[in-house]
Chain A
Amino acid sequence: MKKTIPLCNRLFWGGFSSMEQRGGERKEEELEAPAAGKSPGAEAGGWAWGVVFHFFLVNVLVMGMLKTFGIFFVAFQEEVGGSSEQVSWIGSIMSSLRFLGAPLVAVACRRLGERPTSIMGAGLVGGGCLLSTQATSVPFLCVSMGLLLGMGFACLYQAAAVMTAKRCRTRLAFSNAIARSGMGLTFLIAPFTQFLIDFYGWQGTLLIFGGIMLNLVPSSMLLRPIHTQPPQRSSGKNQDPGALTAKEDSEPLAGCLDETARGETQLCPAQDLPTTEGVTIPHGRDVSGPVNTLDSEGFEKPPVESCWPETAAEAKRSSKSLPPPAKENSQPLLDFSPLKDPVFGIFTWSFLFSHLAYFVPTFHLVARARTLGISSMDASYLVSVAGVTETVSQLLSGWVADQNWTKKYHYHVAYLLLGGVTNLLCPLATTFPLLMTYAVAFAVFCGGFMALVLPVLVDLVGVQKLHSYLGFAAFFAGIAAVGGPPLAGWLYDYTQTYVCSFLFAGACALISPLSFFFEPSAQKWKLKKANLNRGPTLG
């Protein structure tokens, strides 16, 4: 299986074997005897699989819930009343809040740490489900199901995504792809939901779903904050040939902040604190060039600056309580710096258009097949083949990207361009075999670029700022997601044919990678700015 992975391998076989009750294939064979200097590193690494598993579970449950909303739709309409439009608002609030709530969640994550945020998210989702069983009117459902569930999903998703990025350094694309393959399993949830509704009614089903969502609490607990690591370990990692795009190694800082913020009686082991300063100085962000961590962070409001002065000043203290409030205030809660960053603009532009390009064809594929005279059985066969192909291609693309033969965003651009071309060619597909070819090709390219979204973002901005960037990027993507389906519907109404939607999607897919051509120049601009800022500060 994945046991042949080079680097993560070494770190994983820590004390992880008995932890996994499910996902048997991810169990490590034996516990590597924790050698004295190795144990913190090995332990910390061993949780990466747990994080991937949790992300997988989040994908399955969150996406499953979103997709099966259609089944609840019918039940709600009959019992609670309300027009079709009103009830569909619940669904749209739920799915759009998942994106739009991301900036808020980014703030929460940085204040509280990923684990509490994720647990909170799971609690919100579970609570929302339970509350909805008492629903008697559509506005009530809008709030209880739409708002609470949407925010909960956003919390879960953001925390899991960022944690995956932080944990799986070298195999990020592949782990991301494994986790996203959870979306492929969601097709199982639909018949299950239908069965539950027939048996227990929609209220009983929601109750049971609430319980299932509560299962995300223990899996969220797998999102262990990154422990501090001794210097040899981290420098060894960075020198590994596999890690061409080294994410900034700020683990010690992040771990320290998380632990202090949570106020746990956990050890920020005293002997590690002085070393954190020593550790981070040689490391720099390869992406933006500058070697001096201090200064590169200096102009971009370091998220963990509050930890720095603390560790320096109180080196001997094993932190047990929250740092004094003054330090927290020095770091703005909602970090708007991504908005000023051209790299962010590049990424969001591409993210937005690629999302539009992804959603519109999936909506209209079946309808187009129908208008071409293909029976609905065959049409649903199209959809399932596309789904399976997409999952497989996600895994493949993740694996290929991790081989690091070239920069990840090159793959991303390639997939987007090919996907766009495929979409533009779609109107030529008028028979079932041709349409099937189109569906398979589209699924391959879609899976390819979807799997790479997170790794590309991490490549561009590094793990440190991932929260704010991902938060805002998701926010803008959410706007696209809200506008996408109505836009597609309007296109159809206007042109009375589905051909236009595919052409539109193709155009979007071709527009989106354009921004990546500006990436090298954007990096140079940032570098110049960094040098300019560094000039006066250097003594």
Chain B
Amino acid sequence: LLLGVSGTSIEKNVTLDSATRIELSCRLDNKYSHLKSLQVIWKRGNETIRHINKTENSWSIQLRILDNSNLGSYSCTLKGEEEISAMFHLQVPTIEGKEKPIVSYEGDTAVMICKSSGYTPIAWTWYMTNGSEQIALNDSLLADKYAINKISANVTHLKILKLTKEDDGVYWCEAAFELGKSKGKLMLKVLSFMVPLKPFLAIVAEAVILVTVVFLYEIYSKKKEKHA
């Protein structure tokens, strides 16, 4: 049961994960009730839907969401002197990946985590983008490379062992809901050991140089003391 209050153009996101009946209604704010002769149209794309005039200032539609095809954007438009519209976006739950890439090293193990907030998916699938294709990662096929663990109903882990440069790239975790699928993006960056080693060696070299300088200075000053 959902309500939309119109003033100016409004959008609202509705998250659904399983089949349900839903009612969307547009209600006109009291300050606009002076507007007479309003024509209300509920639309989905180009298709008009029959609506029910519930009360004087609200109009609603009832929908049965059974599968993916029923999801989408529904709009109610009030045409009078001005045109006011509100949009409802019915969608499956979004999965959040990670904006920052996960950094790991060659030969090491990387763990990629995907969580679904609040809604429990039916299944999880992991994909890797190779060029322009998306390849599903099957852990039974490459058991010594990938391991997919279901930590809890809402969380999945992808463990990649023995990382190489080719594992670098974009990964997708896809959650399958009754009403559709939703993807989260993760990025993996594989570095070789040389990358941080270079600054480290530079710093160590600098420290060694300083030690030598201090040491030499001490010897020099001791010699001066001896001669003084």
Which residues of A approach B to under 8 Å, CB–CB? Answer: 15, 19, 21, 34, 36, 39-40, 43, 78-79, 197-201, 203-205, 207-208, 210-212, 214-215, 217-219, 221-222, 224, 266-267, 269
- Indicate whether B31 reaches chain A with its CB closer than 8 angstroms: no
- Indicate whether B206 reaches chain A with its CB closer than 8 angstroms: yes
In angstroms, Cα B97 to Cα A348, docked, is 51
Q: Are A221 and B214 in contact (CB under 8 A)?
A: yes
Asked, given contacts A199-B103, A204-B195, A208-B196, whether A43 binds B207 with beta carbons under 8 Å apart, the answer is no
Q: Are A214 and B203 in contact (CB under 8 A)?
A: yes
Partner of B225, one of A43, A79, A207: A43
Q: Are B214 and A34 in contact (CB under 8 A)?
A: no
In angstroms, Cα B167 to Cα A531, docked, is 79
Asked, given contacts A214-B204, A218-B207, whether A79 binds B111 with beta carbons under 8 Å apart, the answer is yes
Q: Are B103 and A201 in contact (CB under 8 A)?
A: yes
In angstroms, Cα B207 to Cα A217, docked, is 7
By a CB distance below 8 angstroms, the chain A residues around B111 are: 78-79
In angstroms, Cα B225 to Cα A21, docked, is 24
Asked, given contacts A19-B217, A211-B200, A211-B204, whether A34 binds B224 with beta carbons under 8 Å apart, the answer is yes
By a CB distance below 8 angstroms, the chain B residues around A269 are: 225
Partner of A78, one of B113, B218, B221, B222: B113
Which residues of B approach A to under 8 Å, CB–CB? Answer: 100, 102-105, 108, 111, 113, 191, 195-197, 199-204, 206-207, 210-211, 213-215, 217-218, 221-222, 224-226, 228
Chain A: CB-nearest residue to B205: A211
10 CB < 8 A contacts A-B: A15-B221, A19-B214, A21-B210, A79-B111, A199-B103, A200-B196, A208-B199, A217-B207, A218-B210, A267-B226
Q: Are B206 and A39 in contact (CB under 8 A)?
A: no
Asked, given contacts A34-B228, A198-B103, A201-B103, whether A208 binds B214 with beta carbons under 8 Å apart, the answer is no
Asked, given contacts A79-B111, A218-B210, A218-B214, whether A203 binds B226 with beta carbons under 8 Å apart, the answer is no
By a CB distance below 8 angstroms, the chain A residues around B103 are: 197-201, 204
Q: Are A212 and B203 in contact (CB under 8 A)?
A: yes
By a CB distance below 8 angstroms, the chain A residues around B204 are: 211, 214
By a CB distance below 8 angstroms, the chain A residues around B224 are: 15, 34, 39
Q: Are B222 and A266 in contact (CB under 8 A)?
A: yes
Q: How far is the CB of B39 from chain A (nearest CB, A)?
A: 44
Q: How far is the CB of B68 from chain A (nearest CB, A)?
A: 33
By a CB distance below 8 angstroms, the chain B residues around A214 are: 203-204, 207
In angstroms, Cα B113 to Cα A200, docked, is 19
By a CB distance below 8 angstroms, the chain A residues around B206 are: 215
By a CB distance below 8 angstroms, the chain A residues around B201 are: 211
In angstroms, Cα B115 to Cα A294, docked, is 73
Q: Are B207 and A215 in contact (CB under 8 A)?
A: yes
Q: How far is the CB of A227 from chain B (nearest CB, A)?
A: 8
In angstroms, Cα B202 to Cα A214, docked, is 12
Asked, given contacts A201-B105, A214-B203, A217-B211, whether A40 binds B195 with beta carbons under 8 Å apart, the answer is no
By a CB distance below 8 angstroms, the chain B residues around A266 are: 222
Chain A: CB-nearest residue to B100: A198
Chain A: CB-nearest residue to B222: A266
In angstroms, Cα B203 to Cα A219, docked, is 14
- Of the listed residues B200, B202, B217, B221, the one surrounded by the most CB atoms of chain A closer than 10 A to its CB is B200
Chain A: CB-nearest residue to B199: A208
Chain A: CB-nearest residue to B112: A78
In angstroms, Cα B212 to Cα A217, docked, is 11
In angstroms, Cα B199 to Cα A215, docked, is 13
In angstroms, Cα B113 to Cα A207, docked, is 25
Q: How far is the CB of B23 from chain A (nearest CB, A)?
A: 37
In angstroms, Cα B218 to Cα A224, docked, is 9
In angstroms, Cα B200 to Cα A205, docked, is 10
By a CB distance below 8 angstroms, the chain A residues around B203 are: 208, 211-212, 214-215
By a CB distance below 8 angstroms, the chain A residues around B228 are: 34, 36, 39
Chain A: CB-nearest residue to B102: A201
In angstroms, Cα B226 to Cα A40, docked, is 10
Q: How far is the CB of B115 from chain A (nearest CB, A)?
A: 12
In angstroms, Cα B226 to Cα A438, docked, is 58
Q: How far is the CB of B215 from chain A (nearest CB, A)?
A: 7
In angstroms, Cα B196 to Cα A221, docked, is 27
In angstroms, Cα B191 to Cα A188, docked, is 26
In angstroms, Cα B104 to Cα A334, docked, is 46
By a CB distance below 8 angstroms, the chain B residues around A218 are: 207, 210-211, 213-214
Partner of B105, one of A203, A205, A222: A203
In angstroms, Cα B104 to Cα A490, docked, is 38
Chain B: CB-nearest residue to A196: B196
Q: How far is the CB of B82 from chain A (nearest CB, A)?
A: 36
Q: Are A207 and B196 in contact (CB under 8 A)?
A: yes
Chain A: CB-nearest residue to B228: A39
By a CB distance below 8 angstroms, the chain A residues around B213 are: 218
Q: List the 5 closest A-B pairs by CB distance, nearest first.
A: A204-B196, A201-B103, A218-B210, A211-B203, A211-B200
In angstroms, Cα B208 to Cα A214, docked, is 9
By a CB distance below 8 angstroms, the chain A residues around B221 are: 15, 43
Q: Are B214 and A222 in contact (CB under 8 A)?
A: yes
Partner of B200, one of A79, A197, A201, A210: A210
Q: Are B199 and A211 in contact (CB under 8 A)?
A: yes
By a CB distance below 8 angstroms, the chain B residues around A267 are: 222, 225-226
Asked, given contacts A214-B203, A218-B207, whether A39 binds B225 with beta carbons under 8 Å apart, the answer is yes
Q: How far is the CB of A352 from chain B (nearest CB, A)?
A: 37
Q: How far is the CB of B200 from chain A (nearest CB, A)?
A: 4
By a CB distance below 8 angstroms, the chain A residues around B191 are: 200-201, 204
By a CB distance below 8 angstroms, the chain B residues around A219 are: 210
- Of the listed residues B105, B196, B199, B202, the one surrounded by the most CB atoms of chain A closer than 10 A to its CB is B196
In angstroms, Cα B228 to Cα A217, docked, is 30
Starting from the known contacts A19-B214, A79-B111, A269-B225, 15 additional A-B residue pairs (CB-CB under 8 Å) come to A15-B221, A34-B228, A200-B195, A201-B103, A204-B105, A204-B196, A210-B200, A214-B204, A214-B207, A215-B203, A218-B213, A218-B214, A221-B214, A222-B214, A224-B218
In angstroms, Cα B207 to Cα A200, docked, is 22
- Of the listed residues A201, A205, A267, the one surrounded by the most CB atoms of chain B closer than 10 A to its CB is A201
Q: How far is the CB of B173 from chain A (nearest CB, A)?
A: 15
Chain A: CB-nearest residue to B101: A198
